[in-house]
């Protein structure tokens, strides 16, 4: 694989990671995350931090692509203060680990960037697969008795 092909793959995987993490996010606000889902989000935050450091090594410190994606993720998750802190700490830990390992751009930092992109892709797919459909029911829903949203028919049909 040429360097140009490698960079193209990194870009495609990065877009997939960012897209997947944002695509499932609107549903996340409406549901509580399970402990395994929360850990996957923490792992994803770490990978995004790594990606941020590796991208900055080659693009310069002004590049905020992955930091902006992390901000979108945390805003969408609307996590409680403790979980928000865990996500932020994971991002920072990933960033500082890769920044120390790769202070400048080179073939090895590019390989690391591709590896982290693959890891992020896997985590994003795992999260996207765990999203559950949130059913919305309103007063006009036929499953409500007499239009009362506080009383649902015992044998309401599955949707």
Helix axes 81-101, 65-77, angle to 10 degrees: 160
pTM score, two decimals? Answer: 0.68
- Which of 92, 10, 105 has the alpha carbon at shortest distance from 57? 105
- Which of 115, 42, 32, 123 has the alpha carbon at shortest distance from 78? 32
- Which of 49, 86, 79 has the alpha carbon at shortest distance from 66? 49
Per residue of the chain (159 residues), what is the pLDDT tens digit?
455 454 545 554 454 454 444 444 444 443 578 899 999 999 999 999 999 999 999 999 999 999 999 999 999 888 889 999 999 999 999 999 999 999 999 999 999 999 999 999 999 999 888 765 445 555 555 555 555 444 444 444 444
């Amino acid at each position: 694989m040429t360097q140009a092909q490698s960079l193209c793959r990194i870009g495609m995987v990065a877009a997939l990671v960012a897209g997947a993490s944002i695509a499932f996010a609107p549903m996340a606000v409406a549901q509580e995350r399970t402990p395994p889902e929360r850990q996957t989000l923490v792992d994803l935050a770490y990978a995004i931090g790594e990606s941020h450091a590796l991208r900055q090594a080659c693009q310069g410190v002004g590049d905020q692509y992955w930091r902006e994606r992390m901000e979108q993720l945390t805003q969408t998750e609307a996590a409680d203060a403790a979980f928000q802190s865990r996500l932020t700490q994971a991002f920072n830990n990933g960033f500082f680990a890769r920044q120390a390992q790769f202070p400048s751009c080179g073939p090895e930092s590019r390989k690391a960037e591709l590896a982290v992109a693959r890891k992020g892709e896997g985590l994003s797919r795992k999260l996207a697969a765990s999203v559950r459909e949130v059913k919305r029911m309103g007063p006009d829903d036929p499953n409500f008795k007499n239009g009362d949203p506080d009383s649902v028919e015992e044998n309401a049909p599955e949707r």
